[in-house]
Structure 1
Amino acid sequence: MKRNFVYLLAALLISAASCSFTNKSFDNPDKDKLLLDLISYVLENGHFEPKDVDDNFSKHVFDNYIKALDPLKRYFLQSDIDEFKAYRLAIDDQIKTSDLTFFNLTYDRLMQRMDEATAIYKDVLKKPFDYSKDETIDVDYENLSYAKSKDELWERWRKQLKFSTMERYANGMSIAETPMEESEKEMTPSGVEEVPGEVSTENETSEKLPKDPVALEEETRKATQETITEYFDFMDDLERKDWFVMYVNSIVEEFDPHTFYFAPEEKDRFDMSMSGKFEGIGARLQKRNDNIKIVEIISGGPAWRGDEVEVGDEIMKVGQGDETPVSIVGMRLEDAVKLIKGPKGTEVKLTIKRVDGTIDEVSIVRDVVELEESYAKSSVVKKGDKAFGVINLPKFYIDFDNYKNRNAASDVAKEIEAMKKVGVEGLVLDLRDNGGGSLKTVVDMAGLFIEEGPIVQVKSTGKGKEVLSDTDERVQWDGPLVILVNELSASASEILAAAMQDYKRAIVLGSKQTYGKGTVQNVIDLNQFLRGDNEYGDVGALKVTTQKFYRINGGSTQLEGVKSDVVVPDKYSYRDIGEKDQENPLPWDKIESVQYKSWSGYIDYEATIERSKARMANNSQLKLIDENAKWVKKQQEDKEYPLSIEEYQAQIEKDEETLKRFREISDYQTNLSFESLPYEIEMMSKDSVLKQKRERWHSNLSKDVYIEEAVNVLEDLENNIENGKLADIRK
């Protein structure tokens, strides 16, 4: 279906290109103007519900773009905004004529204001902060007006920097006033327990801590300056093209929240996130000041296998094979990454500065690097003498170039087979925080749990309804099934949960509703529409909403999401994070249902749900989680904070009293035990990093009240088999 759409759109665009993209307006070598024309045409002809690009459209683009440029209102003055407003109703006309006047004006002014802000923050941080002064800061930036003068802007920066510094100052005072014996027992301000013996003597501690409030104030102010300097260093690395991408996305996101323009580098990152792999050395990098450091070595990758680089090493130069190495000191991070990444089998030479100051040259042969955390992982759960399985799926990943390569559906099928070999009696599919991914993998995965039948209905741009079905009668798993969801389970996750719920194949346990993203996007390579020799270089890609999907019962998951069979509170319960809380979401609607036959196994399906609801209603852990979620929501609604240390500490002490109770949430312990499957245990014997990751995951699972209840539900369903209440259809 995706292929059909691309061919259709390609035909439209190529036809348009042959008659439209050769006129004199495209003789201008300005790549940005060409990009606007390409995107406008694709949106007009390819979007599921294209919008009229008119004055109303222009107003929304203007407001969102200005907000994106200066979200904290610490750069622009009110006079700037007044000047910009001359274009508030003209952006639609500029889009149609490829006019960049508005963008150029805002970009030039932002660069000017950011230079001025650099001078302001340095000036502010020269002077000590007076923490005895009775004043407040308003962080309701949405409703905050722009500063009317540079003096007012300076004052705004002063308050923001004081607020940032005061937390450090208050924490420093707290540590300085705590006796050594107590500091080893108490919780630190960050909520992490101190490890006795980390600090050897009280004298050594006193040397590291400021001796008086004046010294502490100076030290914390200096720390704030280092942080804000790093921020401006990052901003300085951004080029004009980066800001233009922001402008373009302010335009395309007016169509809906999921239509998005990818600059060439961003498209590569998107492909990597969808496939869970890339070609390179297998290290995560971070730029700090002018230095690029290794912050993580990816397990199983070339750097990990070679064991010649370590976390903390600083990369000074990069050489390609026998070529002369190039210094990357001061280089933009993404430009340095381009040099370090490369095709499988090629050699890269890194000049490394070790943590101890020594300098070495290391040669690494690039290879395919798989991001293990992107893939499905599983654990066997032991409860008494029974074993159950948990499969955690972070996303519905796929290799767009070759579906036969590793993908979510085939990986889950392998995990199920491994689970069956160790005799698990029920299965939990954990889709919490799963933001979606490939539509094809959803259909294939749903087919693992039913004999055959429709999975999802899809309406496409300019086409009628299409029903995607599982046509394979084989059932990979026919035992009890629970699907865990939360407010961040979106898109593909919702398709799978909805299908299993409609078939009454699984019990869905989790949030009141899932995210509510009922749309499908296709990524269109814009370069395919440039004929002949392309003098502009790579122009990127556009992720555009081209389809809307519907449950087999006819209802859309758009905005409404999937309602859980058993609703349990979680930390997101009172936050505005769903599709309905985004700007410009497509509306909810309904179409006719299709014929499907409910799963014939669960005779006691509804009774099992009611028993789970009763357990959850009396669960003290869930009640505490719900209280905490409400408290966090209230904290987020408070937009004014004191800037006097006395009031600030009083508020912190009050909050600490409340938080003491909520810390009990992390102390919760189930009676479940977890272990990896045999094949993974063998892998962990050679991979200590993987072993640590799994041990940490198992530790978290053992404290997870949602996993605990999912296992309870599986146990109820399995007991029904033993008691003859469930039609055992296993083959």
Structure 2
Amino acid sequence: MTYAERTVARRAAAAGSRTGIYKAIGLALMLGMPLGLSAKIDDTQVYEPVAPTIDQARANILIARQLQFTHFRDMGINDQLSEQVFDAYLDYLDGQRIYLTRKDVDQFTGMKGQLGSALKTGQLQPGFDIYNLVQQRIIERLQFALSVLDKGIDTLDFGAEETIRVDRSEAQWEADTAALDELWTKRIKNAVLAQRLNEKDDDAIEESLKRRYEGQLKRAYQARSEDAFQAYMNAFTSIWDPHTSYFSPRTSENFNINMSLSLEGIGAVLQADNEYTKIVRLVPGGPASKQGQLQPADRIVSVAQGEEKPVNVIGWRLDEVVDLIRGPRNSVVTLEVIPANASDDTITKTIAIKRDEVKLEEQSASKDLIQLERSGDDYSIGVIHIPTFYADFQAMQAGDPNYKSTTRDVRRLIQELRDDGMDGLVIDLRNNGGGALHEANDLVGLFIDEGPTVQIRHANNEVQTLDDQDPSVAYDGPLVVLTNRMSASASEIFAGAIQDYGRGLVVGSQTFGKGTVQAVRPLNHGQLKITQSKFYRVSGGSTQHKGVIPDIEIPSRIDKTRIGEDALDRALPWDQIEAVPHTRYFDFSGIIDELRQRHETRFATSPEFNLLQEEIEFLNEQRELESVSLNFETRKAQHEQIERTRLSIANARRELRGEEPFDSLEALEEWQDQQSAQLDTVDDELDFVIREGGHIVADMVELDRRMVSITTPRHFAAKTPAQ
């Protein structure tokens, strides 16, 4: 009797005592695993279906009430929402359509319109039935994958002209088990090809893939009731917006999984993304940020401690991955990740990061003074980098008159730059993910006399306005604010206020668009993070979804289709409320066209910009690939072309710095590893974008001499009420 046949016999014997999914959809569906497998795994294991608890049912009822009556989005629980929950839940459990068949999905057609009423009353069994089926199908798929590997990867055909779809999130469900077998054979071939192209031998590849699938299989057998409940509740809450979510009691301890502000780790915020754990953002001043290689939207494949073998974490729970990444200060953790710009999921890179704590001073604002020579005129441009909006709340509450904060530090830096004779100022908010709201409010106050800075609209439509009530101004000269896609939340409030007041120009790329406010509310079992308010600019437009649109745009390598509020499912839309009275310090309409023309003229001849454009085009080509070849020779040629392009771009950048080019991609990667170990990586885009910000400041001075003096109390045009 084969392994599969023994498993069928055991399950048939045990089925009479089981409840839930097996009674709901029948024993035949439970036994949908194909016969004849010979995977070398523990054949005594049987998946035990998980069941909801009374505490979970009570928490479900509380969550449903909170969503209906306190969420910013006014939405009831009805049949239409029930269908949305069903689709969101399947996306959460099988987002790439690789486990379930169309027949499996059709089994639940009857409950599709009934989930809403069940969720209102804490009837969790339908959600658990779906979860148990998916877990069973995951086990079957992994068993099939191991059976393929047992036959040896040398039996796979890499000569056929086959392809595999890169992203299956919009694919149709496969018709039956045979179709899934074909798909998974292609997935295995794809994984083997990627490792062969990375010059691994077949024995190492087989060992690596077996470890991966066996690890996932072990976790599938270890599924817990809490896993099902958290998955189901997060599918439910996501219908309101992507920032509303349920935290299990354990996940509540790791709220936002910010591993560096209070615990030793790498300084990254993580979230679950189908089978993967994804990097959401890096904490400024943290080990990962300083190391320089890890990027937002990278997905973690494996984690290794020091010199130990890596542990594959595909399919792991988020809290388990976090536990692996955390560790004692000065120890090294190595992450294997799929880069955000990878053309497919088999392309990975390895990043070693030394764990540490993030110190407040490493997140502090800092300054530079750059010199620009322009047609015989010299300009000194001050630059202030603000990585986050911070405040030492403990020192503040203790009454320390010298407590650190963004606003206090920037005020001091401005004075130091003025003492050094700066002619204009650039505030760099790129990659600033936000922070303390009151600091964004106070920072705006350094550049205006007084007035409103942001409006906050609550779920009951009540609008609250935050104001700068300090009439003192730290700096009233020409100003540019640099932003990119990772500038979010408090950064967007500051940039939007500077733009609305006509106090300066925003330069760079469209910001993230995070314009909502969440509160964490305790439940009898875990916590609910729920969106309760929304930010609006003083001009009335929300920062939600649209973010801040720059006055002068500079393209970025960051993929806007994967990073940003408008890339998230069911994000709250942009809208507008009444503007509040505010001052316009300067009307840029008379000079903005000339400013843009000068900027475009400079960039047309800028080797740094041309190189950036080339790199963006290359990355876009990789992102737009819908499928990859499974033919070895074809794939090898594509791989070599990608490597040649990477090397060409890296060498072009080195030549701009007057450095010797690399003779191979291996030399480039070795250099990158050395730079990372020294925490001495250089981002050339930041350097030339800062210089361009300085040139735009100089253009502002040249085109309107009312901006020349920074020593007079007021050098802008007379204030006029905002329209």
Is 1:545–2:538 an aligned residue pair?
no
1:522 aligned residue (494, 518, 525): 518
Percent identical among aligned pairs is 30
- Asked if structure 1 preserves the Cα contact closer than 8 Å seen for 2:305 and 2:333, the reply is no
Q: Aligned AA for 1:728?
A: I
The residue correspondences of 1:71-82 to structure 2 (distance < 5 A) are: 71-82=95-106
1:56 alignment counterpart: 80
Q: Aligned AA for 1:450?
A: I
User: Residue by residue, what CA displacement relative to the aligned partner does 1:368-390 show, whole Å, maximum 9, x if unpaired?
Assistant: 95356982442424336865443
- Asked if structure 2 preserves the Cα contact closer than 8 Å seen for 1:62 and 1:88, the reply is yes
- Asked if structure 2 preserves the Cα contact closer than 8 Å seen for 1:568 and 1:622, the reply is no
> SS at 1:43's partner residue?
helix
1:467 alignment counterpart: 465
- Asked if structure 1 preserves the Cα contact closer than 8 Å seen for 2:502 and 2:587, the reply is no
Change (3 A) 1:555 1:51: same
Structure 1 CA distance for aligned equivalents of residues 265 and 491 of structure 2: 32
User: Residue by residue, what CA displacement relative to the aligned partner does 1:541-567 show, whole Å, maximum 9, x if unpaired?
Assistant: 322222222221222233332221111
1:218 shift after superposition: 3.4
- Asked if structure 2 preserves the Cα contact closer than 8 Å seen for 1:374 and 1:394, the reply is no
> SS at 2:584's partner residue?
coil
> SS at 2:472's partner residue?
coil
1:432 aligned residue (430, 433, 447): 430
Is 1:124–2:148 an aligned residue pair?
yes
Q: Aligned AA for 1:165?
A: V
1:621 aligned residue (608, 615, 625): 608
Q: Aligned AA for 1:499?
A: A
Structure 1 CA distance for aligned equivalents of residues 269 and 567 of structure 2: 34
1:150 alignment counterpart: 177
1:639 alignment counterpart: 626
2:246 alignment counterpart: 261
> SS at 1:53's partner residue?
coil
1:573 shift after superposition: 6.5
1:167 alignment counterpart: 194
Structure 2 CA distance for aligned equivalents of residues 400 and 488 of structure 1: 25
Change (3 A) 1:283 1:273: closer
* Structure 2: runs of 5 or more not aligned: 1-51, 271-282, 288-303, 310-315, 335-355, 373-377, 398-402, 659-674, 714-723
Change (3 A) 1:392 1:261: farther
> SS at 1:143's partner residue?
coil
- Asked if structure 1 preserves the Cα contact closer than 8 Å seen for 2:261 and 2:267, the reply is no
- Asked if structure 2 preserves the Cα contact closer than 8 Å seen for 1:555 and 1:591, the reply is yes
Q: Aligned AA for 1:430?
A: D
Is 1:244–2:229 an aligned residue pair?
yes
2:299 alignment counterpart: none
> SS at 2:368's partner residue?
strand
Structure 2 CA distance for aligned equivalents of residues 44 and 312 of structure 1: 48
The residue correspondences of 1:154-553 to structure 2 (distance < 5 A) are: 154-172=181-199, 216-232=201-217, 239-270=224-255, 273=258, 277-278=261-262, 312=306, 334=319, 369-370=357-358, 375-383=363-371, 388-397=381-390, 404=397, 408-413=406-411, 415-416=413-414, 419=417, 424-511=422-509, 513-518=510-515, 520-527=516-523, 539-553=525-539
Change (3 A) 1:458 1:156: same
Q: Aligned AA for 1:506?
A: G
* Structure 1: runs of 5 or more not aligned: 1-27, 173-209, 211-215, 287-295, 301-309, 316-330, 343-347, 356-367, 528-535, 672-688
- Asked if structure 1 preserves the Cα contact closer than 8 Å seen for 2:366 and 2:385, the reply is yes
Is 1:566–2:552 an aligned residue pair?
yes
User: Residue by residue, what CA displacement relative to the aligned partner does 1:255-312 show, whole Å, maximum 9, x if unpaired?
Assistant: 12222223344444336749x62156999999xxxxxxxxx9x989xxxxxxxxx972
> SS at 1:508's partner residue?
strand
1:254 shift after superposition: 0.6
User: Residue by residue, what CA displacement relative to the aligned partner does 1:439-488 show, whole Å, maximum 9, x if unpaired?
Assistant: 32321221122221111122212143222111111223334332111233
Structure 1 CA distance for aligned equivalents of residues 610 and 332 of structure 2: 52
1:666 shift after superposition: 3.9
Number of aligned positions between the proteins: 575
2:161 alignment counterpart: 134
1:580 aligned residue (566, 569, 590): 566
Structure 1 CA distance for aligned equivalents of residues 125 and 444 of structure 2: 51
RMSD: 4.3
1:13 alignment counterpart: none
1:248 shift after superposition: 0.8
- Asked if structure 1 preserves the Cα contact closer than 8 Å seen for 2:257 and 2:269, the reply is no
- Asked if structure 2 preserves the Cα contact closer than 8 Å seen for 1:667 and 1:703, the reply is no
TM-score by length of 2: 0.69
Change (3 A) 1:269 1:403: farther
Q: Aligned AA for 2:61?
A: D
1:237 shift after superposition: 6.6
2:123 aligned residue (99, 114, 118): 99
Structure 2 CA distance for aligned equivalents of residues 496 and 337 of structure 1: 32
User: Residue by residue, what CA displacement relative to the aligned partner does 1:664-696 show, whole Å, maximum 9, x if unpaired?
Assistant: 66447579xxxxxxxxxxxxxxxxx99954x43
User: Residue by residue, what CA displacement relative to the aligned partner does 1:553-585 show, whole Å, maximum 9, x if unpaired?
Assistant: 222233332221111222236635443343223
- Asked if structure 2 preserves the Cα contact closer than 8 Å seen for 1:388 and 1:711, the reply is yes
Structure 2 CA distance for aligned equivalents of residues 283 and 659 of structure 1: 28
- Asked if structure 1 preserves the Cα contact closer than 8 Å seen for 2:381 and 2:422, the reply is yes
